[in-house]
């Protein structure tokens, strides 16, 4: 089974960030808006431009990303927590 | 009888998602905004671009889709629950 | 007498939808936002594009349409209920 | 004396709609938003397009129009009720 | 001393409208939003278009204008009431 | 030390307007929104246009300007009150 | 480990501004909206333009910047306070 996001949406698998192993990124409990970590599982074809084409996506399958706490729509696929986000809701890619 | 949506609207037949059979997609009861499943029954000609043309649609008749809980307008056609959505309200296509 | 809508507006005559005869479309009493039925009586020349031209309209005189409950402005013409809507407020065309 | 509206604005003289004579248009007392009738007395040169030109106006001096109840700014000229509206606030032109 | 407005702004000197002399324009006390009269004293070079140029202004120094009651920013220059408005807040030019 | 504003932002040094010396400009205590005076100390390279270039700025270092009371972000540089504004928040340039 | 911001986002390390050493910039305690200081640690490839390209960024790695108090999303990387901002939330670059 496959979930293919439309346009500039991205399917992301939620990763419980381990405060020690994740290369030193700690998201403070007291932060205004805590970002969360995830792995990109599937990307849409890109946002529709004015000329009717799809703008290229910056993230790809397998990327480890940070996204805002209140972003996206939650779904569970085969027991795993996922979200469908717009690419613009992704704050950054984490490269190990 | 035919319901032909205008522009980027889509006619979707509501599918009661069976938590077991649907390839493993479970929408948690506790989710912030629960997505719903449906089958595309009819698609509009596409959104009007600035140049006055219709941008191509990404979904087509028969596609199984996920959409947000509060999206669209409900109508009942021959006893079946349907919705009219904008294509941008569709989160993803589910491929079995 | 003639009522000619401007730009992308449409003059629509309200039709009391008969739950049985209308080819099976039933709008549930409990729906979030109940769509209504009408017949297009007159269409404007189209929305002004950035280049100063009128984009073509998708509906035409005589079309049977669905529109949202809170759309448009009501007027009575020769005893009949009408509305002036923007074309974008029309959800779909019903073809018998 | 002359009042020349700017851009896409229109000077409209308010007409007290006579429920019988006006070719059959009756605006119901119970309507959500009652449209009003008026005669266009002066039109602006048109809305400024992106390219810095004036888009052509669809109404002209002498047109009998319908407009929304809460549209525009009232002024009295030589004892007569007038309004300055944007052309986009005009719902339709009434042709007798 | 000179006050030169930027972009599409206009410096306007407030004129206390004399209900009798002003060619018959009376602004009713009971109006929803009473327009006010003024004389244009200085105009900006025009709004910046997408291509980075200044769109031409429709009003010029000396024009007598009508503007909305709650428009602009008040300043007093040499004892006289003035306002800085955007040109789009000007409803009409009054030609005697 | 230098504070270089980005894009269409401007660094402005706050000037306490002397009601008598400033060529006659008095900002009334009772004004709806009182404009303030300042001297431009540094300008950004200009707003990014759609084509990815910087639109030219209309103000330059040394200009005496009027700006709205609630505009911008305050900072103190070497004991002097400054603000960082967007150029569009500048109402006018005062030429002596 | 690397945090690569997407599009026009910027990774900024928070700097506790020393009121004396910072070349004289003092952010008043009573300011409406107090700007904060930081060092740019990583920049995205630029905002997507209408033509589907990335507009060039104005800040680069190592720049000392001012940004609004309520801007961005906080994360802690190897014990240091960081933020992910959009470039447009950066008020100015401080050159020593």
CB A93 within 8 A of CB A69: no
Averaged pLDDT, D69-96: 90
Band of the pLDDT at C40, cuts 50, 70, 90? very high
Residues of A in contact with G2 (CB under 8 A): 94-96
State the pLDDT at residue A20.
47
Instruction: Give the residues of chain G that fall short of pLDDT 50.
Output: 19-22, 32
Q: Which of A14-28, C27-41, D72-86 has the highest mean pLDDT?
A: D72-86
Task: Compare CB distances from B96 to A1, A6, A45 and report the shortest one's residue.
Answer: A1
Q: Which of F27, F68, F21, F30 is nearest to E75 (CA)?
A: F27
CB C93 within 8 A of CB C59: yes
Higher pLDDT, E27 or D74: D74
- Return the CATH number at A69: 2.30.33.40
Task: Compare CB distances from F50 to E4, E11, E50 and report the shortest one's residue.
Answer: E50
Question: Tokens 């005559």 map to which residue?
Answer: C13
Contacts of F68 (CB under 8 A, 6+ apart): E73, F33, F35, F36, F89, F91
Reading chain B (96 residues) residue by residue, the pLDDT tens digits are 689 999 999 999 998 765 444 456 665 555 545 678 999 999 999 988 777 788 899 999 999 999 988 889 988 888 889 999 999 999 999 997
* Adjacent-strand bridge partners of E15: E37
Question: Tokens 């030169």 map to which residue?
Answer: E4
Q: E84, F50: Cβ pair inside 8 Å?
A: no
Averaged pLDDT, E9-23: 73
State the pLDDT at residue A49.
79
Show the domain range for B13.
Answer: 9-19+33-94
Averaged pLDDT, F68-95: 91
Q: A50, B47: Cβ pair inside 8 Å?
A: no
| Residue B1 covered by a domain | no
Averaged pLDDT, F72-78: 88
Give the mean pLDDT of chain A. Answer: 84
pLDDT digits (tens, 9 = 90+) for F43-56: 999 988 777 788 89
Q: Which of G35, G47, B76 is nearest to F51 (CA)?
A: G47
State the pLDDT at residue F21.
44
* Adjacent-strand bridge partners of E77: E80, F25
Classify residue C32 as left (phi > 0), alpha (psi -120 to 50) or beta. alpha
DSSP state of A57: P
| Residue C4 covered by a domain | no
| Residue F77 covered by a domain | yes
| Residue F27 covered by a domain | no
| Residues G72, G91: Cα–Cα separation, whole Å | 13
CB C6 within 8 A of CB D85: no
Residues of C in contact with D95 (CB under 8 A): 1-4
Chains meeting E at 3+ CB pairs closer than 8 A? D, F
Averaged pLDDT, E23-35: 58
| Residues G68, G90: Cα–Cα separation, whole Å | 7
Q: Is F2 helix (H, G, I), strand (E, B) or coil?
A: strand
Q: F3, G26: Cβ pair inside 8 Å?
A: no
Averaged pLDDT, A62-84: 90
| Residues F49, E51: Cα–Cα separation, whole Å | 7
Residue D49 at interface with chain E, using a CB cutoff of 8 Å: no
| Residue B25 covered by a domain | no
Task: Compare CB distances from C28 to B3, B70, B76 and report the shortest one's residue.
Answer: B76
| Residue E25 covered by a domain | no
Taking 80 as the threshold, does the pLDDT of residue C20 lie above it? Answer: no
Taking 70 as the threshold, does the pLDDT of residue F26 lie above it? Answer: no
Q: Is D59 helix (H, G, I), strand (E, B) or coil?
A: coil
State the pLDDT at residue G76.
86
Task: Compare CB distances from F25 to E6, E7, E75 and report the shortest one's residue.
Answer: E75
| Residue G3 covered by a domain | no
Q: Name the percent of chain D in helix, strand, coil, to the closest 5.
A: 5, 45, 50
pLDDT digits (tens, 9 = 90+) for D7-45: 999 999 998 765 444 456 665 555 545 678 999 999 999
Q: Is G52 helix (H, G, I), strand (E, B) or coil?
A: coil
Number of domains in chain B: 1
| Residue F49 covered by a domain | yes
State the pLDDT at residue G20.
47
Q: F24, E1: Cβ pair inside 8 Å?
A: yes
Q: In chain E, whose CA is at the least distance from the CA of D78?
A: E24
Q: DSSP states of E50-80 as a string?
A: TTS-BPPPS--TT-EEEE-TT-SEEEEETTE
Q: Report how far apart, in Å, the C-alpha atoms of E56 and of each of B78, C90, D35, E47, E84 are.
A: 58, 38, 35, 8, 18
| Residues G60, G93: Cα–Cα separation, whole Å | 10
CB E93 within 8 A of CB D4: yes
* Adjacent-strand bridge partners of B86: B9
Taking 50 as the threshold, does the pLDDT of residue C21 lie above it? Answer: no
Give the mean pLDDT of chain B. Answer: 84
Q: β-pairing, G90-95 with F73-77? A: unpaired
CB G81 within 8 A of CB G74: yes
């Amino acid at each position: 089974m496959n979930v293919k996001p439309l346009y500039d949406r991205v399917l992301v698998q939620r990763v419980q960030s381990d405060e020690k192993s994740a290369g030193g990124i700690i998201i403070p409990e007291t932060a205004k808006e805590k970002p969360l970590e995830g792995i990109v599982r599937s990307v849409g074809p890109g946002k529709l431009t004015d000329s009717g084409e799809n703008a290229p996506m910056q993230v790809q399958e397998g990327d480890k990303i940070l996204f805002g706490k209140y972003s996206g729509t939650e779904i569970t696929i085969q027991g795993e927590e996922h979200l469908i986000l717009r690419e613009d809701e992704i704050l950054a890619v984490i490269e190990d």
